[in-house]
């Protein structure tokens, strides 16, 4: 199943009818984003208008994609749903667990050895449940999705923030947590707050050294890392249609860096060319048949201020190449002289040690071909590399074609390392140093999306700057951060002054794409006989056991921790080295709440065990209470659980026996994740009651047997001196979510309904 044309035709048949209905209901012309959203409502044909930025709406995405790090827990949970197959087309992509070190052949072999049990697990689960599986080395999830599955007007979710890349092919594609993916795979609705809309009108045309990457670097400068929050960014205008489809993908990809829900472009000729070049003429034909539905109504782009919540205009003809960084993707500097001054003022190392080209953001054929035109000039003009160069092709199809066309050979002549078709340095999977924490201060330039401290190589002193692939190549050859290839000369091996000419390249391979082994494994038609075997001694994968319902009797519960101040999902379930245990709930639970500050003593991972009076780490203390059959509660401050949507932050406390999380306020996704795991997520009716909770208290829920929507619950707090307080607790559970609680988890309920 490369892609499902029948599914796409069905989406298009619905789209015409639903968009027409939505236009009538909304009462005005529609943006492309609205057309896609209204044609993917869970309830089918639209019957009411939604308020942007306010209404929570149930959607029915067309596809799901998961990468290997996040897929582990998502698939482990899906296995609990008792379904024979996924409800919507789903793919798994092995790209995050491959370290870049010596080059593709050695590195891939090493990854296949060190992570074989994870890869084997993902492969067998995929085979069993009808999920397409892309092997390690097949490519980076978002490039593979763009090449094979993305289609104009579609809606997809993926368990990775850069799922948004598929907006380059006119989708509404959104990054989610594993719990959301499980819902959709299991045939449930997916909820999203109806986004606000930001319109970006692109006029003029890119030329010379300016690339699509510079468009999003400019947008990041304008909107900053928070400016897109809760919004879909819709690009339009003559500048938009003049860019390649993969270039549009780059722009949408880095929408994640401005916090946008997603970004998208209307269907145009570049998308049609890309669909045909990637062997999807039937999708292009189907899209052509409903072309006006795959872009905004004409009036919208003529008067965008009337239809978008915010409009930005960028003239591509006036845009120059940018370098964004270090440490944040929205800090923009124009290539060249501006950088000389800024780098001096900020003490950024001027010498560039590495140039890295690739990642899901910039690893298309066009990207590699334009960067290689600069590399070829270096060879022709007798220039020697002043930095090291690394390349991560986006997919095996891109790699194979680029090798066939001599592109990779050009880089290799400059001694570049060709890493695996995988994330590599982009996600810190880069064996650059043996001791990254104590590595020296340095600068690198890359064409990736994120450049936070330690992201690429674990070295807090690495100053990473983001640029287009062609600028990355030029700066890596020159070895200086402030090199401006438009104006600056370099001295070659013969002592002559030489200059680069403008980069050239191909939007698509002139001889077409080619690949021998694309690394795709289709699932068997009937997976019922496929056995998913997991070594019981594995420290990385552990099959889940369904959670027992907590029940209506919570008496004598103890305080596990009263979190003080900010408590994000990172404080609840840390990343870093713990990523290794993402598929093993018991092992990863050893990081449960270890980053949260205890309100008593203001230390992290240091709480009182009331059974012994001793102090210890949060996970150990929780395990001691659980072993003694005592339920625990967690108390928190405002916006508890903000950050990522990772479901581990709810599953770990649940696994360790926490019955209720009681806070001043929740980050909404985390609150929902707690509900899905069959726990109580409650808020203080009176915020000041947070101060009533003492370290040695015992808790009794007095009216849980009357748990009902819109009805407060009450908890008796028994203090160490015997005095008592009764506090009122609010909740947002609807009846269906109360059923999740009663059954022990949302998945338990799905399984029960399946078996009914």
Q: Known catalytic residues? A: 95-96, 160, 450, 644, 646
The span from the CA of 513 to the CA of 279, in Å, is 9
Shortest Å, Cβ 450 to ligand F3S? 6
Beta carbon of residue 323, minimum distance to ligand F3S (angstroms, whole number) = 19
The interface mask with ligand F3S, positions 495-534, x = CB under 6 A, is ----------------------------------------
SS3 595: coil
Q: Measured from the CB atom, is 294 or 422 closer to ligand F3S?
A: 422
For residues 402-439, one letter each, b for 16 or more C-beta atoms within 10 angstroms of the residue's C-beta and e for the rest, the string is beebebbebbbebebbbbbbbbbbbbbbbbbeeebeeb
Of 200, 240, 199, which Cα lies nearest the Cα of 52? 199
DSSP letters spanning 345-385? HHT---BEEEEEE-TTTS-SHHHHHHHHHHHHHHHHTTPPP
**Closer residue to ligand F3S (CB): 482 or 570:** 570
- Footprint of ligand F3S on residues 29-68 (CB under 6 A)? none
Query: Judged by CB under 6 A, does residue 359 bind ligand F3S?
Result: yes
Among 455, 510, 489, CA closest to 328: 455
Size of residue set near ligand F3S by CB under 6 A: 12
Residues 6+ apart with CB under 8 A from 110: 99, 101
Residue positions counted in the chain: 756
- Closest to 255 (Cα-Cα) out of 316, 198, 334: 198
DSSP class of residue 60?
A: -
What is the C-alpha separation between 652 and 656, in angstroms, rounded? 6
Least distance between ligand F3S and beta carbon 75 (Å):
18
One of 162, 571, 655, 751 touching ligand F3S (CB under 6 A) = 162
Q: Roughly how many angstroms between the first and final C-alpha of the chain, as a whole number?
A: 31
Q: Quickly count: other Cβ atoms within 10 Å of residue 664's Cβ.
A: 17
C-beta of 158 vs 304, nearer to ligand F3S: 158
Site string for ligand F3S, 125-154 (x = CB under 6 A): ---------------xxx------------
- Shortest approach of ligand F3S to residue 143 CB, angstroms? 9
Interaction of residue 427 with ligand F3S, rule CB under 6 A: yes
DSSP state of 53: T
Stretch that binds ligand F3S, among 208-216, 422-430, 482-490, 596-604 (CB under 6 A): 422-430
Q: Which x/- pattern over 188-217 shows residues binding ligand F3S (rule: CB under 6 A)?
A: ------------------------------
Among 39, 449, 591, 737, binds ligand F3S (CB under 6 A): 449
Q: Strand 231-236 vs strand 520-521: parallel, antiparallel, or unpaired?
A: unpaired
DSSP-assigned beta bridge partners for residue 262: 232
Pick the closer one to ligand F3S by CB: 66 or 319.
66
Nearest approach, Cβ of residue 426 and ligand F3S (Å): 3
Which of 337-345, 421-429, 473-481, 711-719 is the region at the interface with ligand F3S (rule: CB under 6 A)? 421-429
Helix (H, G, I), strand (E, B) or coil at 149: coil
User: Which bin fits 613, alpha (ψ -120 to 50), beta or left (φ > 0)?
Assistant: left
Task: Work out how close the CB of 573 gets to ligand F3S at its nearest, in angstroms, rounded to a whole number.
Answer: 19
As measured in angstroms, the least distance from the Cβ of 583 to ligand F3S is: 18
The tokens describing 257, both together, are: 């860096």
Tell which one of 86, 184, 294, 423 touches ligand F3S (CB under 6 A): 423
Tokens of 16: 């015409």
> Which residue lies nearer to ligand F3S by CB, 145 or 294?
145
Segment interacting with ligand F3S (CB under 6 A) among 39-47, 151-159, 179-187, 423-431 = 423-431
Q: Which is nearer to ligand F3S, 209 or 430 (CB)?
A: 430
Report in angstroms how near the CB of residue 132 gets to ligand F3S at its nearest: 17
Report d(CA 129, CA 523) in Å as an integer.
Answer: 8
3-state secondary structure of 717: strand
Other CB atoms within a 10 A radius of the CB of residue 514 amount to 12
Residue among 419 and 625 whose Cβ is closer to ligand F3S: 419
CA distance 396 to 408: 13
Whose Cβ is closer to ligand F3S: residue 423's or residue 618's? 423
Q: In the bound complex, what is the minimum distance in angstroms from residue 519's beta carbon to ligand F3S?
A: 16
Q: How far is the CB of 184 from ligand F3S (least distance, A)?
A: 19
Residues 199, 294, 196, CA angle at the centre, nearest 5°?
Answer: 30
Best CA proximity match to 73, nearest among 531, 568, 428, 540: 540
Residue 331 in contact with ligand F3S, rule: CB under 6 A: no
Applying CB under 6 A, the span of 349-357, 420-428, 431-439, 699-707 interacting with ligand F3S comes to: 420-428
State the minimum distance, in angstroms, from the CB of residue 633 to ligand F3S: 36
Asked if residues 472 and 363 have their Cβ atoms less than 8 Å apart, the reply is no
**Distance (Å, whole) CA 234 – CA 236:** 7
Nearer to ligand F3S, 40 or 399 (CB): 399
* Cβ at position 69, least distance to ligand F3S in Å: 9
User: Which is nearer to ligand F3S, 426 or 475 (by Cβ)?
Assistant: 426
**Site map (CB under 6 A) of ligand F3S, residues 90-109, x = contact:** -----x--------------
Query: Which residues are 607's β-sheet partners?
Result: 616
Q: Provide the greatest CA pair distance for the chain.
A: 89
Q: Which is nearer to ligand F3S, 98 or 202 (CB)?
A: 98
Stretch touching ligand F3S by CB under 6 A, among 29-37, 38-46, 419-427, 725-733: 419-427
Check binding of 241 to ligand F3S (CB under 6 A): no
Where does residue 310 rank: exposed (0-12), middle (13-18), buried (19+ CB within 10 A)? middle
φ, ψ for residue 541, nearest 5 deg: -125, 135
d(CA 372, CA 343) in angstroms, rounded, equals 27
Q: Which lies closer to ligand F3S via its Cβ, residue 37 or residue 423? A: 423
CA–CA distances in Å: residue 696 to residues 290, 718, 721: 66, 9, 9
Q: Can you name the residues that pair with 323 across neighbouring β-strands?
A: 333
| Residue of 164, 233, 252, 360 interacting with ligand F3S (CB under 6 A) | 360
Write down the least CB distance from residue 394 to ligand F3S, Å: 9
- CA 391 and chain centroid, separation: 22
Q: Which is nearer to ligand F3S, 22 or 164 (CB)?
A: 164
332 touching ligand F3S, by CB under 6 A: no
Do the Cβ atoms of 214 and 321 come closer than 8 Å? yes
Q: Which of 258, 335, 426, 550 touches ligand F3S by CB under 6 A?
A: 426
**Closest C-alpha to 96, from 68, 122, 71:** 68
Footprint of ligand F3S on this chain (CB under 6 A)? 95, 140-142, 160, 162, 359-360, 423, 426-427, 449
């Amino acid at each position: 199943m490369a892609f499902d044309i029948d599914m796409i035709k069905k989406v298009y048949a619905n789209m015409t009818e639903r968009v027409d209905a939505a236009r009538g209901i909304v009462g005005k012309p529609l943006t492309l984003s609205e057309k896609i959203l209204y044609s993917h409502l869970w309830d089918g044909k639209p019957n009411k208008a939604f308020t942007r930025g306010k209404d929570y709406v149930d959607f029915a995405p067309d596809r799901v994609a998961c990468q290997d790090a996040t897929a582990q827990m998502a698939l482990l949970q899906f296995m609990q749903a008792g379904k024979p197959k996924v409800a919507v087309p789903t793919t798994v992509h092995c790209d995050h667990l491959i370290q870049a070190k010596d080059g593709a052949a050695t590195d891939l072999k090493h990854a296949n050895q060190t992570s074989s049990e994870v890869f084997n697990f993902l492969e067998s689960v995929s085979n069993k449940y009808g999920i397409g599986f892309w092997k390690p080395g097949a490519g980076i999830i978002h490039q593979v999705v763009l090449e094979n599955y993305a289609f104009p007007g579609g809606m997809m979710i993926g368990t990775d923030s850069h799922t948004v890349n598929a907006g380059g092919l006119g989708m509404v594609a959104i990054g989610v947590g594993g719990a959301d993916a499980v819902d959709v795979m299991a045939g449930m609705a997916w909820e999203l707050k109806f986004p606000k809309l930001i319109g970006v009108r692109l006029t003029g045309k890119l030329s010379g050294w300016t690339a699509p990457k510079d468009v999003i670097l400019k947008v990041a400068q304008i909107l900053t890392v928070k400016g897109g929050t809760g919004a879909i960014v819709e690009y339009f205008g003559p500048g938009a249609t003049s860019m390649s489809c993969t270039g549009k993908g780059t722009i949408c990809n880095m929408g994640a860096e401005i916090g946008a829900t997603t970004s998208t472009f209307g269907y145009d000729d570049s998308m049609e060319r890309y669909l045909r070049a990637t062997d999807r003429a039937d999708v292009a034909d189907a899209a052509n048949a409903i072309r006006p539905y795959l872009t905004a109504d004409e009036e919208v782009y003529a008067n965008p201020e009337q239809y978008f919540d915010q409009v930005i205009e960028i003239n591509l003809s006036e845009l120059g190449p940018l370098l964004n960084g270090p440490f944040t993707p929205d800090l923009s500097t124009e290539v060249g002289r501006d950088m000389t001054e800024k780098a001096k003022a900020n003490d950024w190392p001027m010498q560039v040690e590495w140039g890295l080209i690739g990642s899901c953001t910039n690893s298309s054929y066009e990207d590699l071909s334009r960067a290689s035109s600069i590399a070829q000039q270096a060879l022709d003009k007798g220039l020697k590399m002043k930095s090291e160069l690394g390349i991560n092709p986006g997919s095996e199809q891109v790699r194979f074609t680029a090798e066939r066309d001599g592109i990779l050979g050009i880089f290799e002549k400059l001694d570049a390392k060709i890493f695996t078709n995988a994330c590599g340095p982009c996600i810190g999977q880069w064996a650059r140093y043996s001791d990254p924490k104590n590595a020296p201060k340095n600068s690198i330039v890359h064409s990736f999306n994120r450049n936070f401290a330690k992201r690429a190589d674990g070295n807090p002193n690495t100053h990473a700057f983001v640029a287009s692939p062609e600028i990355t190549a030029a700066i890596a050859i020159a070895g200086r951060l402030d090199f401006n290839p438009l104006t600056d000369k370099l001295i070659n091996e013969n002592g002559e002054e030489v200059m680069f000419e403008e980069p050239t390249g191909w939007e698509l391979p002139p001889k077409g794409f080619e690949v021998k082994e694309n690394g795709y494994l289709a699932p068997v038609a009937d997976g019922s006989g496929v056995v998913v075997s997991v070594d019981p001694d594995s420290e990385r994968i552990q099959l889940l056991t369904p959670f027992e319902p907590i029940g209506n009797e919570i008496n004598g519960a103890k305080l596990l921790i009263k979190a003080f101040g900010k408590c994000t999902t990172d404080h609840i379930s840390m990343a870093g080295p713990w990523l290794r245990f993402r598929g093993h709930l018991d092992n990863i639970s050893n990081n449960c709440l270890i980053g949260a500050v205890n309100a008593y003593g203001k230390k992290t991972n240091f709480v009182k065990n009331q059974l012994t009076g001793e102090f210890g780490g949060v996970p150990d203390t929780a395990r001691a209470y659980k072993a003694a059959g005592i339920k625990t509660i967690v108390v928190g401050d405002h916006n508890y659980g903000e950050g990522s949507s990772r479901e581990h932050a709810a599953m770990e406390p649940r696994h360790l026996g926490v019955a209720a999380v009681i806070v001043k306020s929740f980050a909404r996704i985390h609150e929902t994740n707690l509900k899905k795991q069959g726990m109580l997520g409650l808020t203080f009716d009176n915020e000041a009651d947070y101060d009533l909770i003492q370290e040695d208290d015992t808790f009794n829920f007095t009216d849980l047997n009357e748990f009902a929507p819109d009805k407060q619950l009450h908890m008796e707090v028994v203090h160490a001196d015997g005095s008592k307080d009764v506090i009122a607790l609010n909740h947002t559970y609807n009846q269906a979510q109360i059923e999740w609680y009663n059954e022990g988890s949302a998945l338990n309920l799905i399984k029960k309904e399946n078996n009914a």
